[in-house]
Amino acid sequence: MAEKTSIKSTKVAAKAAKPREPIAKSSARKPTNAAATTLPAHSAGPEATATNSEGLAVAAKPTLLSGGNPQIAKGYGDAPVQAYIAAMPGWKSDVGRRLDALIERTVPDVHKAVKWNSPLYGVEGEGWFLGIHCFTKYVKVAFFRGTSLHPVPPGGSKQKEVRYLDIREDDQLDEAQFVDWVKQASQLPGERM
């Protein structure tokens, strides 16, 4: 048994005494411009950057999911919501800015977040009362306690309390009605998500 231990310790000592060869540096360790511009979509948030052909940092453009819904990293506060709105394609971005301004004006201390690639609006300690989502031909506003609003928003849902308002490109938004719904929704217990 003592003989096996000495053979083993001799092998360990010989291995430790053997000079190590330098490790060759691989180009795979250094990101190239091509690799930097193709960041995974899930990492692209409002602060995500890539490099352009000159090697300068530029904001990474969010991926558009099915229906043109921007893929924005989960985040809390105004910045991720503004990144989502800026990434909404075409006329939908104007609708997003208009809705956001109306919500802020109606509920000045509104809390914002982006979760599940949708901006959410809520009241601190009360949960989320409204969400926005892009689809191919419209922007969908979800009132999470919509069945408690008067009048009830027009779009039905498979979820018991949720009601929707779909806004298409040529629709005239009834701002007074929207603001009234936002005010009512913000005073109800919100969703915990």
The answer to whether 119 and 110 are in contact (CB under 8 A) is no
Task: Tell which of 42, 61, 80 closes a domain.
Answer: 61
- 47 inside domain: yes
pLDDT at 14 over 80: no
151: cis peptide before it, omega within 30°?
yes
Q: Quick check: is 22 in a domain?
A: no
- Which amino acid is it at 96? G
Nearest one of 103, 94, 91 to 137, comparing CA atoms: 91
Q: Is residue 15 part of a domain?
A: no
CA pair distance 160, 58, nearest whole angstrom: 44
Q: Say if residue 128 is in the same domain as residue 178.
A: yes
Q: Do 101 and 175 belong to one domain? A: yes
Show the tokens assigned to 185: 């929704």
Mean per-residue pLDDT of the chain: 78
Out of 13, 44, 61, a domain closes at 61
100 and 152 share a domain? yes
Judged by average pLDDT, the poorest of 2-11, 30-39, 133-142 is 30-39
pLDDT tens-digit profile of 155-189? Answer: 999 999 999 999 999 999 999 999 999 999 999 98
- Tell whether 178 and 120 lie within a shared domain: yes
Whether the pLDDT of residue 140 is over 50: the answer is: yes
Confidence check: pLDDT of 47 > 50: no
Residue with tokens 């190239």: 32
Question: Edge to edge, what strands does the sheet with 75-76 contain?
Answer: 75-76, 111-115, 118-123, 127-134, 138-143, 163-168
Whether pTM exceeds 0.75: no
| pLDDT grade for 62, boundaries at 50, 70 and 90 | confident
Question: Quick check: is 11 in a domain?
Answer: no
β-strands 127-134, 111-115: how paired? unpaired
Task: Show Cβ contacts of residue 130 under 8 Å, excluding neighbours closer than 6 positions.
Answer: 103, 120, 121, 122, 141, 142, 143, 144, 182, 185
How many domains does the structure of the chain reveal? 2
**Which range of residues forms the domain containing residue 93?**
66-186
Please check whether residues 147 and 180 belong to one and the same domain.
Answer: yes
